[in-house]
Chains A and B, each alone.
Chain A
Amino acid sequence: MIQIHCPYCGETLPELEFAYAGEAHIDRPESPSAQTDEEWAEFLFMRQNVKGPHFERWRHVHGCGRFFNAVRNTITDRFYTTYKAGEPRPDLATLLEEDNK
């Protein structure tokens, strides 16, 4: 089973306690009514569908209940890091380098 580190609980726990919640760092447009249909559809539906390291949201649904962000390799399922919601996107090159050590 995959073990995921919850940045709020500070514990590494089984995947079963967590729920995947889609791609991370997608900002809702400030004024939706000013958006064209194409821009709105882009925000709602279009995702990167990354093969490899992916920035994504998870929720510790059977625990503290918090949403947080993670960087996971979609091929190997390896989690490079997890961090609290609202924190800046970590530098991917640094993460991969640290992981290779």
Chain B
Amino acid sequence: MSKHISSLAPSVVVDTAAARVAVSQMIGRISLRARTNENGGDLAAVGKAIGVALPTQIGGRAKADGIEVACLGPDEWTLLVSLEQIEKVEDALAALYPSLPHSMTEVTGREVTLTIEGPQAAELLSIGAPRDISSIKVGQARRMLFDGATVVLWRDSETSFRMDVWNSFASFLATTLETGAKELAAELA
């Protein structure tokens, strides 16, 4: 497994009346690219192998025990897998390779997840995102732009989000969110 060298340590970045931003515990991550091929290779086989069917709509998500999948593009998925299970999932995908050639890369050390929750979480995200946050429905996920960096945003409820960011942007984005959360809280006061 790739080592994380410069990741932010799990901690609370900021906690205000408007929103709370925290760095999550490390979790296994896999980037998967695959598509149905002419030789009978089928995406359904991936679902069987990893224990959860791949969502095919961009932004769609699926979840099973210890594994969560989001569809980022027509042939691209990101998998969040518990650290205990990641090797098993990798082996299951590797076994599929002869019938369904695909690209599977373990990127655990590449990203860190920030959780953003609170009554003004969506408003906080709007300070850095050009797209309308309300267009991301609860239970969906999107890859999008946030303050100049590409992130994957998971919407878990109306007021709670997870944001997967690359390590090199993490401290910068955390600072943006911290400033924003404080300003929103100051407006409330």
* Complex: chain A residue closest to B71, CB-CB: A64
Do B130 and A64 touch across chains, with their CB atoms under 8 A apart?
A: no
Do A62 and B143 touch across chains, with their CB atoms under 8 A apart?
A: yes
Do B73 and A17 touch across chains, with their CB atoms under 8 A apart?
A: no
Tell me which residues across on chain A come within 8 A of B135, comparing CB atoms: 11
Residue A78 CB within 8 A of the other chain = no
Residue B61 CB within 8 A of the other chain = no
Residue A14 CB within 8 A of the other chain = yes
A68 to chain B, nearest CB (A): 11
Within 8 A of B (CB), among A12-71: 13-14, 16-17, 61-66
B140 to chain A, nearest CB (A): 11
Docked Cα-Cα span, A64 to B135, in Å, equals: 15
Docked Cα-Cα span, A10 to B130, in Å, equals: 17
Specify which of A8, A62, A66 is in contact with B144 (CB 8 Å cutoff): A62
* Complex: chain A residue closest to B58, CB-CB: A9
Within 8 A of A (CB), among B37-78: 58-59, 72-74, 76
Q: How many residues of A contact B (CB 8 A)?
A: 15
Do A9 and B59 touch across chains, with their CB atoms under 8 A apart?
A: yes
Docked Cα-Cα span, A15 to B131, in Å, equals: 9
B70 to chain A, nearest CB (A): 12
Do B130 and A1 touch across chains, with their CB atoms under 8 A apart?
A: yes
Best-buried of A9, A10, A64 by chain B (most CB within 10 Å) = A64
Residue B145 CB within 8 A of the other chain = yes
Do A14 and B131 touch across chains, with their CB atoms under 8 A apart?
A: yes
Do A64 and B73 touch across chains, with their CB atoms under 8 A apart?
A: yes
Task: Produce 1/0 per residue, B131-160, CB < 8 A to A.
Answer: 100010000001111000010000000000
Known: A8-B73, A11-B135, A66-B74. A16 touches B130 (CB 8 A): yes
A94 to chain B, nearest CB (A): 27
Docked Cα-Cα span, A9 to B76, in Å, equals: 12
Residues of chain A touching chain B, judged by Cβ–Cβ distance below 8 Å, are 1, 8-11, 13-14, 16-17, 61-66
25 A-B pairs with CB atoms under 8 Å apart are A8-B58, A8-B73, A9-B59, A10-B58, A14-B130, A14-B131, A16-B145, A17-B130, A17-B145, A62-B143, A62-B144, A62-B145, A62-B150, A63-B143, A63-B144, A64-B58, A64-B72, A64-B73, A64-B74, A64-B76, A65-B73, A65-B76, A65-B143, A66-B73, A66-B74
Residues of chain B touching chain A, judged by Cβ–Cβ distance below 8 Å, are 58-59, 72-74, 76, 130-131, 135, 142-145, 150
